[in-house]
């Protein structure tokens, strides 16, 4: 009588075991590295993850529109923190740039008119403040930077995300040309500055 052992397909078995072992080892290594502080004098700074939200809160505590005193104060705060972290140099450099601000005395708005010229919708210059900001002053109202004033009129066309393929779909599949029309696009998929 001959003893027979089942044949094992080692390639099949190891193809499942090896990735699992590698993944487990990677998790253990990551935890070890994450808990280990850098050696003294290495030039690296150990910053506990739990402190990130506390440190980042200064960016959201008060409005800091570019070019304002509050923005300069925030820049000085960041400079001070970076110096505490041990950076060799952290300097503030002045630049003269063209900035656009909302006109608070003659606010722009967008309105939608019906076929009889009656306004059926307009945007508000003021938005309700987000939760926790009810008592914060100097919140910047919504505005579209660097947009010239004007009174454009035209047919409205919804263009989804305003991607190239969205315009192709309108033109090729729906026979809608957007030339000379006002398009409405939703946020997402591409950078809002490209819309």
Tokens representing 8 are 């094992």
Q: Which helix (H) or strand (E) holds 183?
A: strand 182-184
Contacts for 54-59 with beta carbons within 8 Å, 24 or more apart? 55/81
Q: How confident is the model at residue 13 (pLDDT cuts 50, 70, 90)?
A: very low
Tokens representing 44 are 């690296």
Q: How far apart are CA 8 and CA 42, in angstroms?
A: 51
Residue 2 is predicted with a pLDDT of: 42
Which of 176, 134, 174, 175 lies closest to 155 in space, CA to CA? 176
Residue 133 is predicted with a pLDDT of: 79
Q: pLDDT tens digits for 69-121?
A: 888 998 898 898 888 878 888 899 988 988 888 887 877 788 888 889 899 99
Cβ-Cβ contacts under 8 Å for 88 (sequence gap 6 or more)? none
Better-predicted residue by pLDDT, 80 or 15: 80
Residue 4 is predicted with a pLDDT of: 42
Residue 160 is predicted with a pLDDT of: 95
Q: What is the mean pLDDT of residues 128-147?
A: 80
Whether residue 19 has pLDDT greater than 70: no
Q: pLDDT tens digits for 37-55?
A: 556 655 555 666 666 666 6
Q: pLDDT tens digits for 138-195?
A: 778 777 788 877 888 888 899 999 999 999 999 999 999 999 999 999 988 987 777 6
Cβ-Cβ contacts under 8 Å for 100 (sequence gap 6 or more)? 143, 145, 146, 147
Whether residue 21 has pLDDT greater than 60: no
- Cβ burial of 143 (10 Å; 0-12, 13-18, 19+) is middle
């Amino acid at each position: 009588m001959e003893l027979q052992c089942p044949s094992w397909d080692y390639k099949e078995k190891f193809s499942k075991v090896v990735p699992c072992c590698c993944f487990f080892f990677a998790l253990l290594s990551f935890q070890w590295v994450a808990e280990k502080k850098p050696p003294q004098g290495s030039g690296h700074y150990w910053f506990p993850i739990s402190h990130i939200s506390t440190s980042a809160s200064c960016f959201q505590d008060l409005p800091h529109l570019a070019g304002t005193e509050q923005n300069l104060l925030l820049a000085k705060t960041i400079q001070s923190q970076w110096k505490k972290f041990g950076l060799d140099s952290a300097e503030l450099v002045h630049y003269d740039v063209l900035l656009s601000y909302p006109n608070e005395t003659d606010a722009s708005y967008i309105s939608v008119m019906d076929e009889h010229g009656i306004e059926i919708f307009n945007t508000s210059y003021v938005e309700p403040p987000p939760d926790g900001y009810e008592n914060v002053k100097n919140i910047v109202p919504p505005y579209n930077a660097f947009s010239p004033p004007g009174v454009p009129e035209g047919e409205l066309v919804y263009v989804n995300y305003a991607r190239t393929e969205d315009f192709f779909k309108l033109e090729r599949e729906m026979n809608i040309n957007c030339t000379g029309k006002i398009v409405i696009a939703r946020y997402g998929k591409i950078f809002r500055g490209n819309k």
